[in-house]
Structure 1
Amino acid sequence: MILETTAGEVRLAANLKWMYTELPFEQRFEAAAESGFTGVEFASPYELPAARIRALLDESGLSQVLINTPAGAKDSRTSMGAACVPGAREEFRAGVAAALDYAAVLGTPVVHVMAGLRPDEVEPDLAFATYVANIGWAAEQAQASGVRIVLEAINKRDQPRYGLASMETAAAVAEAVGPATVGVLFDVYHAQVDRGNVIERFERLLPRVGHIQIADNPGRGEPGTGEIAFDRVLARIAASTYTGWIGCEYGPIAGTADGLRWTERITA
């Protein structure tokens, strides 16, 4: 979906984990296409064979723009990823390999490598050192496959033990281990909850931004349901050198179709 702002166009992708939840998962592809989306993203494609997802994309004329590395079992030490978890190196590496395999079949250019939660008994310095070492290894694998990996910081209100402290830390890690291959996932919702100053921070991090996601705050609903000035934020993105997709990673407040009316208000 192309969205016109006062400063130019941006490309929106539907997040099929958060949107069209009124429908069974496999029906969400066609629903997104009927709404005007040409790109989709979702965290975990691993519940279906890659060939099946490829078929769903082709049938709907969609591009898969982003996937995550796999998460571990619910309530496990790696339930939100394994990158920062000492002792989980083999699980982490197997997950990166699986993500790159899926990305190759789906034609996905960007993989979000999940940091995971720091176990209670693990010191922050050890968890972070584990994270940096694992991201360095993942960068080498991604470079060989032509995929860019991105790092996302989750705000500490929602996930106080998440292994990546901030977007600024993500940018520093990307710079240290492989800036040509590793970038920042700039999530506007998490940026607003964590310190705010969304536009200023976007401009500062722009050289490292590899993907963008949006949701409003509070509530994580569609733009226009909270406090974020999305007309200004999206116009600034449109005016920048960023040419990638913007994933709509929000939970529609009153259904997906009604929620998409925010795009009309932005262009009005």
Structure 2
Amino acid sequence: MLKFAANLSFLYNDADFLDRFSAASRDEFHAVEYLFPYPWDARDIAARLNDNGLEQVLFNAPAGDWDQGDRGIACIPGRELEFRAGFNKALEYAQALDCRRVHVMAGICPPGIDAAQMRATYEANVAWAAELAAPIGREVLIEPINHRDMPGYFLNTQTQAHDIVQTVGAMNLKVQMDLYHCQITEGDLSTAISRWIATGRVGHFQIASVPSRNEPTTGEINDNYIFDLIASESQQHGWEGWIGCEYRPKLGAEAGATSRGLTWLRTLRSHSTYPVI
């Protein structure tokens, strides 16, 4: 089975955020994800989830001052207390929204700081977060991001991320495998998917076309082949996670742009040999 979640930070952006939940439900999504819930009261978000029969599957922990260029702070020495306060807030939202997974962004490498020091800081922070999250059944995810979209980001490759997960050794620390970033940075998606699903360390997938980050099947990736591969590998290895649709609709913020662009998903649902939700 393949399970797709609508990313409400990217999709349905012709509507206010809280109205995007019903839009996703109308398009037969059963789950949602997004970047940050913190501008909204968790009770209001929970009501939208409940009213529309949606599962919350992922969001990000606070990532520092986004408007000032922060893209996470977990790798940055000297900001550990800020990281811990933010992650505690994320767990409060995860509990209120019954969300199993929280993504911790690593951050942009500050100039003048040794890479080994940043890695040590990052590992200590995610180890602390995983230990705090484990008793309440939450997973901590880390995600490699390409340097074209986010220059200077600390975590770039699947090998680097999986090595950190192995070093930390927490069962609830997983890798968020975004195939858009993976294709830009590394390529060879088929080999990567088969290799990493088999480890049991992949907690979540995300998708978008390359290079434009629009709907799947509109770029250089053979998405239908990739979907078949994920379904096959998932069945073989017992992977039951979600695939986040983190792409920008080709029609932008036009009214109904997201729904009109979901031809790829409607076709997959109607023609697939395996269940798709």
Instruction: Tell me if TM exceeds 0.5.
Output: yes
2:123 matches 1:126? no
Output aligned runs, 1:105-184, within 5 Å: 105-184=96-175
Q: Which range moved further: 222-231 or 156-165?
A: 156-165
1:252 to 220, 235, 249: 249
Give the aligned partner of residue 213 of structure 1: 206
Contact 1:139–1:177 under 8 Å retained in 2: no
Q: Which residue in 2 is equivalent to 1:54?
A: 46
Identify unmatched segments of 5+ residues in structure 2: 252-256, 272-277
Alignment counterpart, residue 17 of structure 2, candidates 25, 41, 63? 25
Q: How many residues align?
A: 259
- The whole-number CA distance in structure 2 between the counterparts of 1:180 and 1:199 is 25
Q: Distance in 1 between matches of 2:152 and 2:190?
A: 26
1:75 is displaced (CA, Å) by: 4.7
Aligned amino acid, residue 42 of structure 2: A
Aligned mates of 1:131, 1:208 — CA distance in 2? 18
Return the letter of the residue paired with 1:121: G
**Equivalent residue, structure 2, for 1:45:** 37
**2:84 equivalent to 1:93:** yes
Q: Is the 8 A contact 1:100 1:145 kept in 2?
A: no
Contact kept, 8 Å, 1:83 with 1:114, in 2: the verdict is: yes
Q: Distance in 1 between matches of 2:20 and 2:266?
A: 22
Amino acid at match of 1:244: G
Deviation at 1:66, TM superposition (A): 0.4
Tell me if 1:230 matches 2:223: yes
1:185 matches 2:181: no
CA deviation profile, 1:16-60 (whole Å, cap 9, x unmatched): 000000111111000000000010000100011111111111111
Matched, 1:66 2:58: yes
1:264 Cα deviation after fit = 3.3
Q: How much does 1:165 deviate?
A: 2.9
Query: RMSD over aligned Cα, in angstroms?
Result: 1.3
**Which amino acid is 2:226 matched to?**
V
Contact 1:154–1:166 at 8 Å: present in 2 too?
yes
Whole-angstrom distance in 2 between the partners of 1:101 and 1:196: 37
Q: C-alpha offsets along residues 114-139 of structure 1, whole Å, 9 cap, x if unaligned? A: 11111122222221111111111111
Stretch of structure 1 that moved more, 89-98 or 121-130: 121-130
Give the secondary structure class of the aligned counterpart of 1:119.
Answer: coil
Give the superposition deviation at 1:179.
4.2
Q: Do 2:72 and 2:106's aligned partners in 1 also have CA atoms closer than 8 Å?
A: yes
Q: Which residue of 2 aligns with 1:5?
A: none
Q: Kindly provide the amino acid, as one letter, of the partner of residue 218 in structure 1.
A: P
Give the counterpart of 1:264 among 263, 266, 271: 266
- Mapped partners of 1:142, 1:211: distance in 2: 17
Q: Provide the C-alpha distance between the structure 1 equivalents of 2:172 and 2:52, rounded to a whole number of angstroms.
A: 30
User: Which secondary structure does the structure 1 equivalent of 2:2 belong to?
Assistant: strand
Paired AA for residue 60 in structure 1: N
Distance 1:184 1:37 in 2: 23
Map residues 7-22 of structure 1 onto 2, 5 A cutoff: 9-22=1-14
* Residue aligning to 1:84: 75
Question: Could you list the runs of 4 or more consecutive aligned residues of structure 1 that deviate by over 6 angstroms after TM superposition?
Answer: none
- Measured against aligned partners, the alpha-carbon deviations of 1:56-99 in whole angstroms (never above 9, x if no partner) come to 1111111100011012223546x211101111001100111111
Q: Could you tell me how far apart the structure 1 residues matched to 2:51 and 2:156 are?
A: 40
Unaligned runs of 5+ in 1: 1-8
